[in-house]
Structure 1
Amino acid sequence: MIQELLNSGLHWEKKEFKRNEFLKISGSTDTDIYFVENGSVRIFMMDENEERIIRFGYTGNIIVSLDSFLSGKPSCFYIQAIKKTSVRIASKRDFYEFIHSSDENLKFWNSILEDLVLQQLEREKDLLTSLPRERFERVLKRSPKLFQEIPNKYIANYLRMSPETLSRLKKS
């Protein structure tokens, strides 16, 4: 269905981001939706002086600062390229015109939102799980591709553990 979205006639602007370049910064309103053609990104916020990664996106994923995209208000989240990343960007206005143009498109958007809610619930369960091994195993089972696409230091942050603990868990 994502391929249909890309070929739907919806205007997608192609853009490349260098490693560490920001697609979106904290305090800005996200009025775009992104399809990652190649590469990887992280969505994070700052907690005092510490980064807190909440999500990753890599080849084939649709990503967005959802709080801002839905509310039209500024978000505390950053979206940053982890490595050289190519994305297709559609404006919220164009995207909403597309999803409201047919029942099938609206169902597709609802399925994306439902999937995001379920992913977020899984993420919350991960954070409530106290043992690092359990968090690691849950994420490995759910998203094995993550460990091929994303550097360990970012995965460790996402899992709320040290890179050394992650390394030990991966070896065992």
Structure 2
Amino acid sequence: MSIHSPAPDWFQMPHGHERLWIGLALVWCLIMFAMMPFWHFKGKQNSTGESYSVTPAEFTERAEKFAQTNKVSEHNGIPVAEPPPGGDAYLLARMWSWYPVLKLRKGETYRLHISSADLQHGFSLQPINMNFQVMPGYDHVLTITPTHTGEFTIVCNEFCGIGHHAMIGKIFVE
């Protein structure tokens, strides 16, 4: 067995169609490079909400108080809370549930406070493709205005343990 070095003329400059494809790939890379900052600032996919520091215990207390104060019914043993139009709504993520169920009105604007009591969770509102990371210690506030009526499902899309598959919440919009 022996080690051979490549022949001195092993590399050949691209020619013909190879040059065309390399040129197209380079142009596409430059376009994508320019689009990243453009979509970051103009694409409206980034949250424009506010974020505050809060302890998990404080946020849990706020969510419990909100649920008790605004309770209108129950859904599978979980309180259904209806905030006043223009008011604050609280949504707490904890192993392995969303608390409480929210009841909102179409066309009304709400400030939705989202936080976690224990672990990192993912807030995914279905069938609308709305996704946020929910972290303990942060009160993330989103200003939302429901535009469709119906039943919307909240799914945790960040693995949070053995009961992750059952972490489903609801938002009802009338």
The normalised TM-score by structure 2 is 0.29
- Larger strand fraction of residues: 2
TM-score of the two chains, using structure 1 as the length reference: 0.30
Question: Relative contact order: is structure 1 or structure 2 higher (C-alpha 8 Å, sep ≥ 6)?
Answer: 1
Structure whose CA Rg is larger: 2
Q: Point out the structure with the larger helix share.
A: 1
